A and B are shown apart, each in its own frame.
Chain A
Amino acid sequence: SYELTQPPSVSVSPGQTASITCSGDKLGDNYVCWYQQKPGQSPVMVIYHDSKRPSGIPERFSGSNSGNTATLTISGTQAIDEADYYCQAWDSSTVVFGGGTKLTVL
Chain B
Amino acid sequence: QLQLQESGPRLVKPSETLSLTCTVSGGSISTSNYYWGWIRQPPGKGLEWIANIYYSGSTYYSPSLKSRVTISVDTSKNQFSLKLSSVTAADTAVYYCARLVWSNSPNFDYWGQGTLVTVSS
Contact = CB atoms under 8 A, between A and B. Distances in A.
Given A86-B47, A94-B62, A97-B48, A43 B104 contact: no
A45 B74 CA distance: 27
A95 B105 contact: no
A54 B109 contact: yes
A31 interface: yes
Interface in B52-75: 52, 60, 62-64
Nearest to B4: A42
B105 A99 contact: no
Question: Could you tell me the dominant secondary structure of chain A's interface residues?
Answer: strand
B86 to A, nearest CB: 21
B50 to A, nearest CB: 9
Contacts, number: 63
Contact of B105 (A31, A35, A94, A100): A31
Interface residues of A, number: 25
A95 B106 contact: yes
11 contacts: A1-B63, A42-B113, A42-B114, A43-B96, A90-B105, A93-B60, A94-B49, A95-B60, A95-B62, A96-B49, A97-B48
Interface of A: 1, 31-33, 35, 37, 42-45, 48-50, 54, 86, 88, 90, 93-100
